[in-house]
Structure 1
Amino acid sequence: MQSFFQVDPAVLLAIIGMGIATYLTRIAGLVLVRFVDLRGRTRAALEAVPVAVLMSVIAPTVLATGIAETSAAIVTMLAATRLPLLGVVVVGVVSAATFRAMLGAI
């Protein structure tokens, strides 16, 4: 059972290295953007990046799952146009559970 808790030094070094690289790339963006004057279309494009990333994560799930999940995603998207984030999360969870119960999870 002791071998289960042993960590190979190379693996630990790789994990630490990946963590440092991730941290540096995130901080570099915040530091470098201070020296760039963002106006017009550039600013609009950078403000759209979080939404684009979120959609790239959500879209495959919405399109590749059953009708219950797709229906819940549509209801959640409609709720997102009117409600704050917490309300949208609640609507998404409740609608997914309701549609799964009504339509059956496939």
Structure 2
Amino acid sequence: MTDMLRSDVMIAFAIMTAVTVASRLGGYFMMRYVDVTPRVRRMLDALPGSIIVAAALPVAVNGGPIVMLALAAAIAVSVLRRNDFLAVITGMLVAAAARALGLPG
């Protein structure tokens, strides 16, 4: 049990958590000084999709056919439904189903 609670790992988690919280709070603080023009609003609306693409791209480049199938399904749902959350869930379900069916990947 003591191997799982190493102090260096717990310190790293604490620092990462503090940095994450500070960056989120800093963003909220800084946005108080930004005029939300239509151009800024479009940028903020595009941000969640950009983050998803940035997170999924390395997986897609190194993934196999199952990853490509899941990403294609997620993109299709995103385009058709305009719902990023539903697109992510769809991609996860397609990948899980493909792996459960034993497709090569």
Is TM (by shorter chain) over 0.5?
A: yes
What TM-score comes out, normalization by structure 2 length?
0.67
Structure 1: give runs of 5+ residues left out of the alignment. none
Larger Rg: 1
Q: Which residue of the partner structure matches residue 29 of structure 1?
A: 27
Structure 2: give runs of 5+ residues left out of the alignment. none
Task: Name the aligned partner's letter for residue 93 of structure 1.
Answer: M
Q: For residues 97 and 34 of structure 1, what CA distance do their matches in structure 2 show?
A: 42
CA contact (8 A) 1:63 1:70 kept: no
Q: For residues 26 and 53 of structure 1, what CA distance do their matches in structure 2 show?
A: 14
Q: Which residue of the partner structure matches residue 46 of structure 1?
A: 44
Moved over 6 A (4+): none
Aligned residues: 102
Q: Which residue of the partner structure matches residue 4 of structure 1?
A: 3
RMSD: 3.0
CA contact (8 A) 1:76 1:92 kept: yes
Matches within 5 A, 1:14-25: 15-25=13-23
Q: Which residue of the partner structure matches residue 62 of structure 1?
A: 60
CA contact (8 A) 1:72 1:95 kept: yes
CA contact (8 A) 2:77 2:86 kept: no
Identity of aligned residues (%): 24
